[in-house]
């Protein structure tokens, strides 16, 4: 009778593939890591226990019903400029020496050149045209009205460094039970020294300045840049941070 075994921890199964973002990423329950994942598969946003939900100028924040994979949806009002919404949680993430933070979210935008989007980690704040898009202390992705270009942005106490990823968002749509033209935006904050940015799991650059060292929350926000009901979608938000490095081994290859 044959026996199938995994050689080495399953958590390192991404190592050696072209999806290098997965190297040393923990999967499953491990007390040496803080892990967060929201796949937006419920009936409605839980803004009592899971999220702080905010709207601006009559925007809406909902879960999109009966769409493959589960999606959160932020929409402009259709009658107000600068309308939209946001989701933010507790400030449980902080860049620390010798401890990595891994982050990925899958997002889409109906009109990338006509609206603003932020997804990543940032300090809690009241949603506004500048928050979290111009807020102090953040590590995340920003799309600014006017171009659709994706920037990896870090800000420490008001000093920011924005890296142009060279990739643009493409107009998305609800097509049957699917959302078209989503992008996976991810980063690895390596201690307090660098942030490497990934678009669709391909490395697009590294930032080494203005990395904040304060507590931040997972944050998703979108605002329409006109009176149109521009829509911002999020399939999932995933964040992992090393809780401790004591007694841990990080492998460069399958052990």
Q: How distant is the alpha carbon of residue 65 from its chain centre?
A: 21
Task: State yes or no: cis peptide before 132, omega within 30 of 0.
Answer: yes
From residue 152, alpha-carbon distances to 52, 121, 195 in Å are: 24, 11, 9
Domains of the chain: 36-242 (2.60.120.200)
Pairing of strands 100-109, 115-122: unpaired
Alpha carbons within 13 angstroms on the beta-carbon side of residue 236 total 14
Cα gap 7→4, rounded to integer Å: 10
| pLDDT tens-digit profile, the chain (255 residues) | 444 333 334 344 444 555 556 666 666 677 888 999 999 999 888 888 889 999 999 999 999 988 999 999 999 999 988 999 999 999 999 999 999 999 999 999 999 999 999 999 999 999 998 889 988 999 999 999 988 999 999 999 999 999 999 999 999 999 999 999 999 999 999 999 999 999 999 999 999 999 999 999 999 999 998 888 899 999 999 999 998 876 555 555 544
Is the pTM value of this prediction over 0.85?
Answer: yes
The tokens describing 149, both together, are: 């270009």
| pLDDT at position 1 | 43
Cα gap 2→62, rounded to integer Å: 49
Q: How many CB atoms lie within 10 A of CB 121?
A: 28
Cα gap 104→121, rounded to integer Å: 11
The tokens describing 98, both together, are: 């010798």
Block residue for tokens 């937006």: 40
Phi then psi dihedrals of residue 181, to 5 deg: 60, 40
């Amino acid at each position: 009778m044959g026996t199938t075994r995994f050689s080495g921890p399953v958590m390192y199964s991404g190592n050696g593939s072209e999806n290098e973002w997965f190297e040393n990423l923990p999967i499953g329950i491990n007390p040496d890591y803080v892990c967060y994942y929201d796949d937006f598969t419920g009936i409605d946003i839980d803004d009592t226990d899971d999220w702080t939900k905010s709207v601006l100028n009559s925007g809406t924040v909902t879960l999109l019903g009966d769409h493959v994979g589960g999606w959160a949806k932020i929409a402009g009002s259709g009658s107000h400029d600068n309308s939209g919404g946001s989701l933010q949680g507790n400030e449980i993430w902080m860049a620390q020496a010798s401890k990595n933070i891994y982050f990925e979210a899958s997002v889409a935008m109906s009109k990338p050149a006509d609206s603003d989007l932020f997804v990543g980690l940032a300090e809690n704040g009241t949603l506004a045209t500048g928050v979290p898009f111009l807020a102090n202390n953040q590590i995340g992705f920003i799309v600014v009205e006017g171009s659709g270009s994706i920037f990896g942005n870090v800000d420490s106490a008001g000093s920011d460094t924005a890296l142009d990823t060279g990739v643009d968002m493409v107009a998305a749509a609800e097509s049957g039970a699917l959302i078209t033209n989503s992008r996976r935006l991810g980063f690895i904050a390596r201690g307090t020294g660098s942030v490497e940015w990934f678009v669709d799991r391909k490395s697009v650059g590294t930032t080494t300045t203005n990395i904040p060292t304060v507590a931040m929350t997972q944050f998703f926000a979108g605002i329409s840049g006109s009176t149109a009901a521009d829509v911002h979608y999020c399939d999932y938000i995933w964040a992992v941070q090393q809780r401790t490095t004591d007694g841990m081994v990080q492998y460069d290859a399958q052990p």
